[in-house]
A and B are shown apart, each in its own frame.
Chain A
Amino acid sequence: GAVVSQHPSRVICKSGTSVKIECRSLDFQATTMFWYRQFPKQSLMLMATSNEGSKATYEQGVEKDKFLINHASLTLSTLTVTSAHPEDSSFYICSARRSGEIEAFFGQGTRLTVV
C-alpha cells in the first residue's frame, strides 16, 4: 500500500501564533511532497512542491516566509503556518509521490481554524 498520514487532523490556534502540520509517508519513501490548501466550496490549490533535501518551490502568490516547508527526510515533510490569521483558516492537504512514479497519495488533511 501507500499510506500518507497527516497530523493533526484538526487544530485551533490563536491569531498571531504558529502552527506546524506534519505529513508522513508510512510505507514508502516520498521524494516529492505537495502541499495544497482548500477553502470551502473551492478546489485544491497547490501551495508548494517540496523535494527531499532541497528548498520548496512555491506557487505564485504563496508567501514562502509565512508558509514554511521543510522536507528533511524521505518520509516527512512539515508545513508551518507562521503568525496565523483568521484568513489562513482552511483545509490543508499534503500528498506524497515516490521517485519516478506518476501517482501521488493524499493525507487525510488538516482543518486549521484561527481564532
Chain B
Amino acid sequence: QKEVEQNSGPLSVPEGAIASLNCTYSDRGSQSFFWYRQYSGKSPELIMSIYSNGDKEDGRFTAQLNKASQYVSLLIRDSQPSDSATYLCAVKMYQGGKLIFGQGTELSVKP
C-alpha cells in the first residue's frame, strides 16, 4: 500500500460546479495534512492545511479530515477554469516528520 493515495484523474467538472478530491493515507500516527495546487511546470503552492477531524473552510475551499478512516478530502466550490491544475495531497509522517505526497489528481474545469 502506498503511503498516500489519490485518484489520478483526470477529474473534469463544469464551471461553477463542486470539485471533490480525495486522499487516503496509511500512517495512523500522522497528524498534519496538506493540499497543494500545482500548475504545469511550476512548484506546488499550499492551499489548505488541516490537523483536526472535521471540516476546515477557506473561501471556496473546504478540507475534510477523518482520522479514523485515514481519509482527507478537498472540496472546491464554484469551480473556475483557473482552478484547473494538479492537486496534491501531502501527509506529514509521524516518524521523522517527512512530508509525503500522493500522486496528484488532475482537475479540469470546463467553461
A-side residues, CB < 8 A to B, are 6, 32, 34, 36, 42-46, 49, 57, 91, 93, 95, 102-109, 111
Contacts and interface: CB of A to CB of B under 8 A. Distances in A.
A48 B18 CA distance: 37
A46 B98 contact: yes
Contact of A95 (B49, B99, B100): B99
Sort chain B's interface into a size bin: 20 to 34
A43 B98 contact: no
B44 interface: yes
Interface of B: 32, 34, 41-46, 49, 51, 88, 92, 96-104
Contacts of A32: 97
B105 to A, nearest CB: 10
A108 B43 contact: yes
A109 B43 CA distance: 6
B46 A44 contact: no
Nearest to B99: A104
B86 to A, nearest CB: 9
Contact of A103 (B42, B43, B46): B46
A111 B40 CA distance: 12
A91 B104 CA distance: 16
Nearest to B93: A46
Nearest to A46: B98
Contacts of B100: 46
Given A44-B88, A102-B32, A102-B92, A108 B101 contact: no
